[in-house]
Amino acid sequence: MYSYLAGLRCSRCESRFPADVVRGLCTCGAPLLAVYDLQRLAAESSRDAFTGRVPSMWRYHELLPVSTESSVVTLGEGMTPLIPMPRIGARVGVPRLLLKDEGTIPTGTFKARGAAVGISRAAELGVTGIAMSSNGNAGAAWALYAARAGLTALIAMPVTAPVICRGEVTAAGAELYLVRGHIGDCGRLVTAAVASRGGIQEVSTLKEPYRLEGKKTMAFEILEQLGWSMPDVIVCPTGGGVGVIGIHKALRELAELGWISGPLPRLVAVQSTGCAPIVHAFEHGASESTAWPDPHTIAFGINVPKALGDFLVLDAVYATGGSAVAVTDAESLAAQREVASTEGTAICPEGGAAVAAVSTLAERGAIGADDVVVVLNTGAGIKYPELMDTAAPLLSPGDRI
Ligand SMILES: [Zn+2]
């Protein structure tokens, strides 16, 4: 079987739904999660089946929701490199520090994983148009994958979102709206538009079940790249939380299959001090966050004042003995520069926030010198040219250097 998808389950009330028709949220308002027949998969296959397959995230197709290979809409996403960062690791006292670099993926950010699976499954189920709110990168990815699949796309993003994402959405032929407000304000406009227009599916963060399945593959790749041994810690920039939630779901599926054993990696959610609802909730032992007033950070992808799946992020953090950490924009930018100048990789500011958080955790003793630590860089630094220092002396041909 290409996919072992068996249905959908509500993440809050546990209600079950068949997965063969288009669905958004549960009737209780919570996100739906894809459920697989893991017992049957464990009986019929093993993790060795992945070896030798195409080096993309579709090598894990049994644990993805698309029912046939012919329904896959792909631009070659996945199997991004896991790069050692020895110099920064030595400086912060975490010598086994690794970077999962999502900057090399189509559209330049990890949003491509969710878009590829979400669009493939939507098209397979007969959806002809999608609409979403986005902080920019997800909108760009979904608009481009929608174009590849022949679906229409409506994207609303804050007017303060990275300018390049507007260009990508427009180039993809999608309908673009810029909003004077944050991603929550965009979401309300999109939900109203979908209700009044009809015939299009809302695919904003966790409002459909399949984006999460694409994000999940990051954990499959990390484990396969480590020879199916588990890292001790995985550090994720966290806005809407799909990265952390997806990684946790993937780890639990692999454990239930019996394909990994031992304690799961401690999952760390990283936010900015200018928008840290998950961190605030974690520090108070809460199971949900409260909306963050006046959210702002240069790490724009994590500028989410209230995530629909906040309780799932917090559950992942608590269940794995992880934590939630906020860093300043100055720390994120400094880490971004340090990764480029010492390790040779131009990462995005969200990735910079995650690298900065490793220093914080090491100082607190939450990460030790023996830990294998994977930091997720969610996108390419070149998607944020406005954050890069471009000052240099301007010469004429007769000048000397
Ligand atoms: Zn429910």
What's the 11 CA to ligand 1 centre distance in angstroms? 7
- Which pLDDT score is estimated for 249? 98
CA 16 to ligand 1 centroid distance, Å: 8
Arithmetic mean of pLDDT, 379-384:
95
Ligand 1 center from residue 43 Cα (angstroms): 30
CA distance 19 to 7: 5
- Contact partners, residue 38, CB within 8 Å, separation at least 6: 4, 253, 256, 257
Residues 6+ apart with CB under 8 A from 143: 153, 155, 168, 169, 172, 173, 174
Residue 26 CB partners (closer than 8 Å, separation 6+): 10, 11, 12, 13, 15, 17, 32
Residue 374 pLDDT: 98
Helix (H) or strand (E) holding 201: strand 201-202
| Type of residue at 267 | L
pLDDT digits (tens, 9 = 90+) for 44-54: 999 999 999 99
Across-strand partners of 109?
379
Q: How many CB atoms lie within 10 A of CB 43?
A: 8
**What is the Å distance from ligand 1's center to 33 Cα?**
10
The C-alpha atoms of residue 353 and residue 376 are separated, in whole angstroms, by: 10
Cα 164 versus chain centre, distance: 19
Taking the centre of ligand 1 as the mean of its atom positions, its distance from the CA of residue 28, in whole angstroms, is: 4
Q: Give the Å distance between the CA of 27 and the centre of ligand 1.
A: 6
* Mean pLDDT computed over every residue of the chain: 97
Q: Ligand 1 centroid vs 31 CA: distance in angstroms? A: 7
pLDDT tens, residue by residue, 269-316? 999 999 999 999 999 999 999 999 999 999 999 999 999 999 999 999
- Residue in the structure block whose two tokens are 């994958």: 145
Q: Which residue has the tokens 């799932």?
A: 312
Q: What is the number of residues in the chain?
A: 401
User: CA-CA distance, 307 to 276, in Å (whole number)?
Assistant: 11
Residues 95-121 have pLDDT tens digits of 999 999 999 999 999 999 999 999 999
What is the reported pLDDT for 174? 98
Tell me, in angstroms, the distance from the centre of ligand 1 to residue 25's CA: 8
Phi/psi at 97 (5° precision): -95, 130
For the residues 367-379, what does the mean pLDDT come to?
97
> 3-state DSSP call for residue 101?
strand
Instruction: Kindly give the distance from the C-alpha atom of residue 243 to the centroid of ligand 1, in angstroms, as a whole number.
Output: 21
Q: Based on the number of CB atoms within 10 Å of its own CB, is 177 exposed (0-12), middle (13-18) or buried (19 or more)?
A: middle
Residues 6+ apart with CB under 8 A from 268: 233, 234, 235, 236, 317, 322, 323, 324, 325, 357, 361
State the CB neighbour count (10 A cutoff) for residue 42: 14
For residue 179, the cross-strand partners are: 158
pLDDT tens string 219-272: 999 999 999 999 999 999 999 999 999 999 999 999 999 999 999 999 999 999
Is 358:329 a contact under the CB 8 Å cutoff?
A: no
17 Cα to the center of ligand 1, angstroms:
10
pLDDT digits (tens, 9 = 90+) for 131-173: 999 999 999 999 999 999 999 999 999 999 999 999 999 999 9
Q: What is the pLDDT of residue 337?
A: 96
Cα 317 to ligand 1 centroid, rounded to whole Å: 22
Distance CA 54, CA 26 (A): 35
Q: Can you say whether the dihedral through the CA atoms of 241, 243, 246, 250 is positive or negative?
A: negative
pLDDT tier at 213, thresholds 50, 70, 90:
very high
Ligand 1 center from residue 106 Cα (angstroms): 34
Question: Mean pLDDT throughout 321-349?
Answer: 98
For residue 282 the two structure tokens come to 């974690």
Taking a 5 Å cut-off on Cβ, the residues next to ion ligand 1 are: 10, 12-13, 15, 26, 28, 30
pLDDT confidence bin for 80, thresholds 50/70/90: very high
Helix 242-257 to helix 211-225 angle (10° resolution) is 60
Which of 331, 381, 384 minimizes the C-alpha distance to 354? 331
CA of 7 to the centre of ligand 1 (A): 14
Residues 341, 239: contact at Cβ < 8 Å?
A: no
Q: What is the whole-number distance in angstroms between the Cα of residue 32 and the centre of ligand 1?
A: 8
Per-residue pLDDT reduced to its tens digit, 81-101: 999 999 999 999 999 999 999
Closest CA to 11 of 22, 25, 36, 254: 25
Model confidence pLDDT, tens digit, residues 22-78: 999 999 999 999 999 999 999 999 999 999 999 999 999 999 999 999 999 999 999
Listed residue (193, 196, 200) closest to 151, CA to CA = 200
Distance (angstroms) between ligand 1 centre and the Cα of 231 equals 33
pLDDT of residue 183: 95
CA of 14 relative to ligand 1 center, distance in Å: 6
